[in-house]
Amino acid sequence: MPSTPASPAPAARAGGLISRTGLAYYPVALVARLPFAMMVIGVLTLVVTARESVELGGLTSAMVGLGVACVGPLIGAAADRFGQRPTLLIAGAANSVLLGLLAWLAFGDAPIWLVFAAAFLSGATVPQISPMSRSRLVTIIQGELPLARRSRTMSTALAYESAADEVIFVFGPVIVGVLATAWGAWAPVAGAAVLTVLFVTAFALHRTSAPAKSSEERAATLAPAAELGRPALLVTVLGILSVGLFFGSMLTALTAFMQDRGAAEQAGIVYGVMGVGSAIFAIGVAILPPRFTLRARWPVFALLIVSGAVLLQTADDLPRMLLSLALMGIGIGPLLVTLYSFGAHRSPEGRSATVMSMLGSALMVGQSAAAAITGAVAEQAGTRAALLLPLGAALLALLSGIANVALTPAAERLALRTGPIPLD
């Protein structure tokens, strides 16, 4: 029998979201997602140093992304079925061991296919902290807050989550660089393993973790898996994938741009111009008027990224590069908030962790694949050719937003006008 809380009825409880999660939840959830952001760049640095091959490094990091793509949504599905706590504890333990194994294999005499296998399994066992955190907050807001406060709180919570992801994806590469410079190429991967043990475990054991449901509860509240294949949800996944492609291609092309100027190690700092602006504007989404609907926001924010990516093609010096990054940052953060809001709105009943894991996996797959492809393009065709790839990713985000307009039915359009996330 599942445990039932002894607290008063949710609707009667006073306080807001923080009173239900506790303040400590947010720093724990923030640091727990850091290994996820460190992994692609950390594995790339590890293999390039150990095997002295940029090509092998790119392929190995792509194997991490492939592992996330194949198994990440299944981890989300396991959390929906068995509860987040056991799922995260098992995944976190396995991931820490596999990261250590990967570092050992990379610096040893193991054949490269074994390194690829370890990288794939490392990606396959990545604890899905961002999706799980979003799922927890969405569940608390929908189930415990008064109806009148849900819409605004939902928008604020998802804006915070996207801003947290932005901060992590900006500082993750910086931390990798600092650790690799200070202690060697093995240090970022080892650091990710240690952070996983400490903070993923703390996140898994936090009181907000939803308990496992009985088979009767699952039968009553779990929508059929076929509903995950609805076109409106799949186009949302495509939108998130395009953002991942943008992140991976932009960071790699920027690294090549800075390398041409003899300052490759400063790429992370320059990249932060986009990340900081993106985080600020992501938080600002919470104050946008409801009449500026999600359906309209997607193509508008994507168009801002396209505009910045077009300006990027003229960047022959650092000031022009900084200007284009700042313009793209205005759109990328709010677009992420919009896409995750669509994901929350379109999640089939009982499958919110699965949907959020699908979105998180698509983000990392896009990032790792684009990093590998952009690196090869920069090496073979030069930096100018590599800078075209972020523009391609931005155009894909815009086209998927236009497709979403057609895929949003009239009833959903009306619901989306009542607030960022309709909950009634």
Residue 372 in contact with residue 73, Cβ under 8 Å?
Answer: no
Check residue 155 and give its pLDDT: 73
Neighbours of 4 (CB within 10 A): 7
What pLDDT score does 208 carry? 84
pLDDT along the chain (424 residues), means of 10: 39 64 89 84 79 74 83 80 88 93 90 93 89 82 78 77 72 74 83 91 87 57 61 90 91 82 72 78 76 88 96 91 92 87 76 74 82 84 92 96 83 43 31
pLDDT given for residue 142 in this prediction: 77
pTM of model > 0.85? no
**Could you count the other beta carbons within 10 Å of the beta carbon of residue 322?**
14
Q: pLDDT at position 225, please?
A: 57
Phi first, then psi, for residue 39 (nearest 5°) are -65, -50
Which domains, ranges and CATH numbers included, belong to the chain?
A: 23-416 (1.20.1250.20)
Smallest CA-to-CA distance from 353 within 147, 145, 127, 152 is with: 127
Neighbours of 64 (CB within 10 A): 28
Looking at residue 215, its pLDDT comes to 58
Q: What is the pLDDT of residue 12?
A: 37
Cβ within 8 Å of residue 312, ≥6 positions away: 321, 324, 328, 387, 390, 391
The residues near 215 (Cβ < 8 Å, ≥ 6 apart) are none
